[in-house]
Amino acid sequence: MMDIVGMRSSKTHYLPEHVGFYSANSSESLVVELSQNIGEILIEAIEEKGRASFAVSGGSTPKPLFEELSLLNLDWSKVDLTLVDDRWVDSNHKDSNELLIRTHFLKNKAAKVNFVPLKNDAKSAKEGALLSEDAVKTIAMPFDLIILGMGADGHTASLFPCSEELPIGMDSKSKSHLVAITPKKAPYERISLTAKSIFEAKRIILHLNGSAKLHTLEDAMSIRDSSKMPIYAFLEHGLDIFWSP
């Protein structure tokens, strides 16, 4: 399979050696490269064990990636897909990551993906967490691939530094795949993969656009405290960063 660690630039001198860094000149060309790499990873997993398991993040950054992925020529019926996290809102709500996936990914060649939502009919994420856990357990673990994003505060997934539940979500001994989170500085209750579930994935990719995100990474490596900037734990663990200006 193609080496996706790619190029290293002077902008990333602060990153650990075991963190891969790939940059492209534009977000559009980055999406094409990243989509091809994702396709190779999923195809390899299907060839090895008959199915591939995949988790993606929401937000505005991955929308073009989802559109590109939906056109990839692979046997999507053999791919189990879920979300890294979601807001506890109706699946047709404008801020639902599930709606984002259904609108931009589950179409074209990817219409046959086995998509497992995190949200259910429970009134709160805490009430619905066990049902969500049961749903995710239908997917073979560990994940073959997880695509993460990152906020300006250093959160990834819905592992927010401002949430009381962060220690539960970051617990390396957790036996749960998911955690209910109520951030103090962001709207809505959330349901999120735990750090352990993400760490155990065979491949982890962090998809970022813009110089501000590089500054956030640099801050995380300077502060070196995952309770203040959760992304630090993932940089320490190791992943591949795909970035464009």
In terms of phi and psi (left: phi > 0; alpha: psi -120 to 50; beta: otherwise), the region of 108 is left
pTM (2 d.p.):
0.94
Tell me which DSSP letter residue 55 carries.
E
Where in the sequence is the domain holding 74, given as residue range(s)? 21-244
Within a domain: 13? no
Going through the chain in order, the beta strands assigned E by DSSP cover: 20-23, 52-56, 79-83, 85-87, 114-116, 145-148, 178-181, 190-193, 204-209, 240-244
Within a domain: 9? no
Interval 195-238: pLDDT, tens: 999 999 999 999 999 999 999 999 999 999 999 999 999 999 99
Within a domain: 12? no
> How far apart, in whole angstroms, are the C-alpha atoms of residue 146 and residue 3?
17
Within a domain: 15? no
pLDDT at residue 1 tops 60: no
